[in-house]
C-alpha cells in the first residue's frame, strides 16, 4: 500500500459515547447501530469517568458545529475508506484512483498524533488520562507508558465487548467510548485528507470476534460518526486476502508469482498485536476477477505481538535480576513499573533488530546495552535469531502435539481453520502471512514447519488488512466490474445448551451469511418456569458441550403462562456483521413471538485497571 508523507496535525475532540454495554440487545439483521447512536445522542455524559452512560459530549457537539457547511461524501460518489482498529496500532486508508488494471490503490492516510508536529500512518491505540480532562491519544500516550502507566489504557481492542468499563486512576471509563475516541481521530484524519465529511467506511475485525465484541465495535463506530450498515465489518484475514488478490486477474503473472489460472486452496494467517486469525478459501478465475469461496475461519486465538514482547521482556528481566540479585517485587511501585516498561521497550527493539535484513548478508542480532539499569548493574546482551526463537518457542508450539488446557499459540489459528475446512496442510496450495508479526523470522519458520514449505508474505503485511477494507468498501459502493465484495461465513457453531448438558446447534461453522434457521418444537418448557424461560447460548466446536463458550443467556418472557412441557421453537439469524438475533415462540401459539435479549455478564474479575488489564 502506498504511504504518503505528511499531513496536517491537530487534536480531535472526544466523541459521543455509546452506553456502558452492560446489556446487549441483539437486533434484527444488524438493524443498525444507528438506533443505539441516536439513543446515545439523547443521553448525556463524556469521558470524564464520572458517568458510565453517555451521549454527545461537548467535544462532539463542537465537532458538528465546526464542520457545518462541509459536504458529506456518501453513496456511489464517495471515496472508498477502510479502518483497521488494532490492538497496538490503528490505521485508516482510502482508495486513490490510478490508471491501469488495478483501478484504485489503497493508500494510507497520515493521522495526527498528540504531542507531535507530524502525522503518521499508524496511530498507537493508546489513551493517556492526565490529571486534567484532556485525553491524549497516540504517540503522546505511548511516551507516558514509562512515566505514568497507571494512567494509560492499552490493549483496548481486547477489552472491547468483554469489559464495559476500565479503571484508570480510580475512575471507571466506558470502553466503547474510548474506542470511539480512537475511531473518531481516524475519521477526522480521513476528512482532512479527502476534503469532506466521511460517514461510510469498512472496519476490520478479528474473524473470531463474537457478537459482543462486534456489537461494541459497531457502537463505537456509530459514536465516532460512522454510518453502520449490515456489511460494515470485514474479517481481518479475509481483508488481507483481498489485498493480495487485488489486480491479479487482469495483470500478466510475473515470474515467481502464484498461478491462479486454475482453482487454488489458500490459507491466510494474520498475526497482529493481540490476535492470530486464519481463513481457508478457494480462489478461482472468474472473468475480470478472482472469485473467492470462504471455507473456514479460525477460533478466537488471543496471541499476538504483545505476547511475544511480554515473553522476551520476562526473559530479559529474569536474567538481569539473577545477575544483579534484584527482586522487582520489593521495589517501590513507581520504580517497578518503570523497570517493567524499560524491559518491554527493549523487547520490542530486540524483535525489530532480529527481524531486519542485514545489508552485508550477516546474521542479524540485537545488541542490548542499558547502563546502570539498577544501581551499578548493567544490562548487556546479544540476542540473535536463534536465541530469540528459543525464547518465544512456547507461542509457536506445533498444535499437533498440544494437550487440552495448554496455553494458546499462534499456530492454533491455522490448525483450527484447516480442521473446520476438512483439509490437511499438504492440501493447501498457497500459505499467506499478514500482520506485523509476519516480518518476524521465527513466526515464518514455525509456519513453514507446519505446512512443509515456506509461507509467502502479502505485500506490506502491516497495511494489508486496511488495504483490504478499502477494496471491500469500493466493491460495496459499486460501479467497478473488477471488484466484488468478499462474502462472510460463521467462524464458530452457535447453539444452545439443553437439559442434561447437551448441545443443540443452530448455525454451524462455515455457514454462508446471512443465515436464518428455525428449530421447531426442539425445546420444552421446564418445570416451574411458567412464562419465563432461560436458555444458555454457546459457541464452539469441541465434542464436549461443557467446553463450549457461553455467549450469553437468552431470556424468553411470554405474555401468557406457558405450561410445563409446552414445546418451544427458536429462530436464529446471523447477519454479515455476525450479529445474532434470536426469537422464541410457543408451538401451540406461534403467532406470539418473543424477541430475545442477551445479557453480557462481567467476568468475575470485575472492571480491569491499568496497567495489567485482562489479557
- For 176-202, what is each residue's pLDDT tens digit? 999 999 999 999 999 999 999 999 999
Q: Report the first-to-last Cα separation within the chain, whole angstroms.
A: 31
Whether residue 160 is predicted with pLDDT greater than 60 in this model: the reply is: yes
Domain final residue pick, 210, 230, 250:
230
The whole domain housing 379 covers: 305-393
The pLDDT value given to residue 103: 81
Across 248-264, average pLDDT: 82
* Average confidence (pLDDT) over 407-430: 96
Region 253-266: mean pLDDT is: 88
Q: By C-alpha distance, which of 601, 606, 603 is closest to 23? A: 601
Number of H helices, E strands in the chain: 13, 30
Nearest to 399 by CA among 508, 269, 283, 491: 269
Chosen domain end from 230, 261, 290: 230
Residue 468: which CATH number? 3.30.420.40
Residues 6+ apart with CB under 8 A from 612: none
Cβ proximity of 146 and 42 under 8 Å: no
Please state the rounded mean pLDDT for residues 44-52. Answer: 44
Q: Are residues 45 and 156 in the same domain?
A: yes
| Same-domain check for residues 125 and 246 | no
Q: Are residues 241 and 252 in the same domain?
A: yes
Q: Which three cell numbers stand for residue 299?
A: 477460533
Backbone φ and ψ for 505, nearest 5 degrees, come out as -75, 135
- At 595 the pLDDT is 62
Which segments of 42-151 are extended strands (E)? 72-73, 81-84, 89-97, 104-108, 123-124, 127-128, 136-137
Tell me: do 298 and 426 sit in the same domain: yes
What angle do the packed helices 333-355 and 305-324 form, to 10 degrees? 120
**pLDDT bracket for residue 67 (50, 70, 90):** very low
Under the banding of pLDDT at 50, 70 and 90, the label for residue 116 is: confident
Distance in angstroms (rounded) separating the CA atoms of residues 424 and 417: 10
Q: Which residue has the higher pLDDT, 116 or 562?
A: 116
pLDDT given at position 38 = 40
251 vs 300, more confident: 300
Interaxial angle between packed helices 175-194 and 58-66, expressed in degrees from 0 to 180 and rounded to the nearest 10: 10
* CATH number, residue 324: 3.90.640.10
C-alpha cell at 535: 436458555
Q: Pick the last residue of a domain from 335, 364, 393.
A: 393
Longest dimension (CA), the chain: 81
Candidates 162, 164, 188; CA nearest to 177 is: 164
**Which residue would you say has higher pLDDT here, 256 or 462?**
462
Do both 452 and 462 map to the same domain?
yes
**Is the domain of 49 the same as that of 183?**
yes
Mutual angle of helices 305-324 and 385-392, in 10-degree steps = 100
Can you give the pLDDT at residue 27? 31
Q: Is there a contact between 194 and 473 (Cβ–Cβ < 8 Å)?
A: no
Residue 439 lies in a domain: yes
Tally the domains of the chain: 4
Judged by DSSP in three states, 338 sits in: helix
The three cell numbers of residue 405 are: 488446557
- Name the H helices within 393-498: 412-421, 441-451, 464-477
What's the pLDDT at 437?
A: 96
Top mean-pLDDT range of 131-145, 431-445, 521-535, 563-577: 431-445
Residue 457 pLDDT class (50, 70, 90 cuts): very high
Q: What is the residue-averaged pLDDT of the chain?
A: 82
The answer, yes or no, to whether residue 167 has pLDDT greater than 80, is: yes
Amino acid at each position: 500500500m502506498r504511504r504518503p508523507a505528511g499531513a496536517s496535525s491537530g487534536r480531535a475532540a472526544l466523541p459521543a459515547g455509546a452506553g456502558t454495554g452492560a446489556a446487549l440487545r441483539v437486533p434484527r439483521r444488524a438493524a443498525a447501530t444507528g438506533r443505539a447512536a441516536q439513543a446515545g445522542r439523547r443521553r448525556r455524559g463524556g469521558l470524564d469517568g464520572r458517568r458510565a452512560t453517555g451521549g454527545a459530549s461537548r467535544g462532539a457537539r463542537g465537532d458538528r458545529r465546526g464542520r457545518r457547511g462541509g459536504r458529506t461524501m456518501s453513496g456511489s460518489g464517495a471515496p472508498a475508506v477502510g479502518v483497521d482498529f488494532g490492538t497496538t496500532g490503528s490505521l485508516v486508508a482510502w482508495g486513490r484512483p490510478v490508471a491501469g488494471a488495478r483501478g484504485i490503490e489503497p493508500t494510507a492516510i497520515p493521522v495526527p498524533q498528540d504531542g507531535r508536529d507530524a502525522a503518521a500512518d499508524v496511530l498507537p491505540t493508546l489513551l493517556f488520562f492526565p490529571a486534567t480532562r484532556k485525553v491524549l491519544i497516540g504517540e503522546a500516550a505511548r511516551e507516558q507508558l514509562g512515566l505514568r502507566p497507571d494512567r494509560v489504557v492499552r490493549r483496548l481492542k481486547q477489552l472491547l465487548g468483554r469489559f464495559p468499563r476500565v479503571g484508570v486512576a480510580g475512575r471507571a471509563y466506558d470502553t466503547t467510548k474510548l474506542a470511539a475516541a480512537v475511531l473518531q481521530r481516524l475519521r477526522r484524519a480521513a476528512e482532512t485528507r479527502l476534503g469532506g465529511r466521511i460517514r461510510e467506511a469498512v472496519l476490520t475485525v478479528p474473524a473470531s470476534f463474537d457478537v459482543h465484541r462486534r456489537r461494541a465495535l459497531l457502537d463505537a463506530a456509530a459514536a465516532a460518526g460512522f454510518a453502520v450498515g449490515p456489511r460494515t465489518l470485514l474479517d481481518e484475514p479475509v481483508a488481507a486476502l483481498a489485498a493480495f488478490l487485488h489486480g491479479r486477474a487482469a495483470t500478466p503473472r510475473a515470474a515467481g508469482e502464484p498461478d491462479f489460472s486454475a482453482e487454488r486452496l489458500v490459507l491466510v494467517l494474520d498475526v497482529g498485536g493481540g490476535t492470530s486469525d486464519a481463513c481457508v478459501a478457494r480462489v478461482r478465475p472468474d472473468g475480470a476477477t478472482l472469485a473467492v469461496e470462504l471455507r473456514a475461519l479460525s477460533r478466537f486465538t488471543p496471541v499476538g505481538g504483545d505476547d511475544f514482547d511480554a515473553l522476551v521482556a520476562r526473559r530479559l528481566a529474569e536474567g538481569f535480576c539473577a545477575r544483579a540479585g534484584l527482586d522487582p517485587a520489593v521495589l517501590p511501585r513507581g520504580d517497578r513499573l518503570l523497570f517493567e516498561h524499560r524491559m518491554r521497550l527493549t523487547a520490542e527493539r530486540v524483535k525489530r533488530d532480529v527481524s531486519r535484513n542485514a545489508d552485508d548478508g550477516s546474521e542479524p542480532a540485537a545488541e542490548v546495552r542499558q547502563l546502570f539499569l539498577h544501581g551499578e548493574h548493567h544490562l548487556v546482551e546479544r540476542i540473535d535469531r536463534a536465541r530469540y526463537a528459543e525464547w518465544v518457542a512456547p507461542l509457536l508450539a506445533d498444535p499437533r502435539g498440544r494437550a487440552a488446557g495448554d496455553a494458546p499459540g499462534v499456530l492454533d489459528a491455522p490448525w483450527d481453520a484447516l480442521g473446520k475446512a476438512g483439509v490437511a496442510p499438504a492440501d493447501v496450495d498457497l500459505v499467506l502471512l499478514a500482520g506485523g508479526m509476519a516480518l518476524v523470522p521465527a513466526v515464518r519458520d514455525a509456519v513453514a514447519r507446519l505446512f512443509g514449505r515456506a509461507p509467502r508474505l502479502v505485500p506490506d503485511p502491516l497495511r494489508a488488512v486496511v488495504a483490504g477494507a478499502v477494496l471491500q468498501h469500493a466493491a460495496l459502493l459499486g460501479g467497478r466490474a473488477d471488484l466484488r465484495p468478499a462474502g462472510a461465513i460463521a467462524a464458530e457453531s452457535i447453539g444452545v445448551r439443553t437439559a442434561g448438558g447437551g448441545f443443540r446447534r443452530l448455525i454451524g461453522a462455515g455457514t454462508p451469511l446471512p443465515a436464518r434457521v428455525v428449530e421447531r418444537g426442539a425445546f420444552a418448557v421446564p418445570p416451574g418456569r411458567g412464562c419465563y424461560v432461560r436458555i444458555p447460548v454457546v459457541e464452539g466446536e469441541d465434542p464436549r458441550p461443557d467446553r463450549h463458550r457461553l455467549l450469553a443467556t437468552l431470556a424468553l418472557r411470554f405474555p401468557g403462562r406457558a405450561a410445563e412441557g409446552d414445546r418451544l421453537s427458536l429462530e436464529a439469524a446471523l447477519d454479515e456483521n455476525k450479529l445474532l438475533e434470536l426469537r422464541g415462540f410457543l408451538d401451540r401459539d406461534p403467532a406470539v413471538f418473543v424477541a430475545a435479549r442477551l445479557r453480557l455478564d462481567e467476568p468475575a474479575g470485575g472492571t480491569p485497571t491499568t496497567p495489567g488489564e485482562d489479557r
